[in-house]
A = this chain, B = another copy of it.
Amino acid sequence: MSSPDPANLTNPFKGFHIRTEERSPTDEIRLKIAEELRVVFDELLATSAPVEELEQTRAIVNQAVSLLKLRPHSHDYEGPAEGSLAPMNSFLDRSPIIGAINPLSVPMRMDIEGDGGIESTVVGYALFPAAYEGPPGCVHGGFIAAYFDEVLGMAQSLSGNPGMTVNLTVDYRAPTPLKQPVIFRGRVVSIDGRKISVAGTLHHGETLCAEAKGLFVSMRPEVFSRLVEIRQAHQAK
């Protein structure tokens, strides 16, 4: 897939799954910090470290907090009015589900099987560590729904005129194991005006763990612009 010319984008979500810019040097380091933080979660929840060592850990993490708090937050998030795909590239890296620099994400790795058109399948590869536990040894069902939302959201973007989730329905078929590679798949089922119906599956090996359906409605550019305006007004406070 070639990068789209931002000037041709009328729907600001269009092409949001396509990386058009390299990561900045600061984002490259943020990514590495996020990786370290994910190890901290895993250790934190399971370690047999005694109280004194945990106190030491806390003091160390607090140093990181103090250092980061020295600097103000940047306001480098710009709306599509800037004629840039920055917010969408930002989403790719900052999403709490696929964003490698967001410590909340696994992150899930996304791929497209097919030519990137409406008939293609979006595939999400994930491995959920211990922190995502719901039932014993299993992935929390809520996070399965969350990850489906991202996969189906990516699938509906293949329509060329994507939007926001209006409905998400998940049917849980079998427990989804923690610490095992699992695969999400999503594809467009039908398009009716601004309504895009999508469907997806979650497998562990041959086992179907869950199925999902989603309904998305294409977002009018003015709605997106309005959200960005509100966001910037809050940020300026």
Contact = CB atoms under 8 A, between A and B. Distances in A.
A125 to B, nearest CB: 17
B51 A29 contact: yes
Interface stretch (A1-9, A61-69, A114-122, A201-209): A61-69
Interface in A1-55: 25-26, 29-30, 32-34, 36-37, 39-41, 43-51, 53-55
Interface of A: 25-26, 29-30, 32-34, 36-37, 39-41, 43-51, 53-58, 60-65, 67-74, 76-77, 79, 87, 94-97, 101-104, 131-138, 140-143, 145-150, 153, 164-172, 175, 179, 224, 227-228, 230-231, 234
A76 B37 CA distance: 23
A140 B73 CA distance: 21
A133 B43 contact: no
A51 B71 contact: no
Given A146-B142, A166-B172, A53 B67 contact: yes
A140 B95 contact: yes
Contacts of A133: 94, 96
A26 B51 contact: yes
A150 to B, nearest CB: 6
A192 B133 CA distance: 28
Q: In the assembly, how many copies of this chain are there?
A: 2
A169 B41 CA distance: 30
Given A41-B103, A131-B102, A97 B149 contact: no
Contacts of A40: 37, 61, 64-65, 68, 103
16 contacts: A26-B49, A29-B58, A33-B58, A36-B62, A43-B65, A47-B72, A49-B68, A53-B67, A57-B68, A60-B61, A61-B61, A96-B134, A96-B143, A140-B149, A167-B169, A168-B170
B68 A44 contact: yes
Nearest to A140: B96
A204 to B, nearest CB: 13
Contacts of A72: 47-48
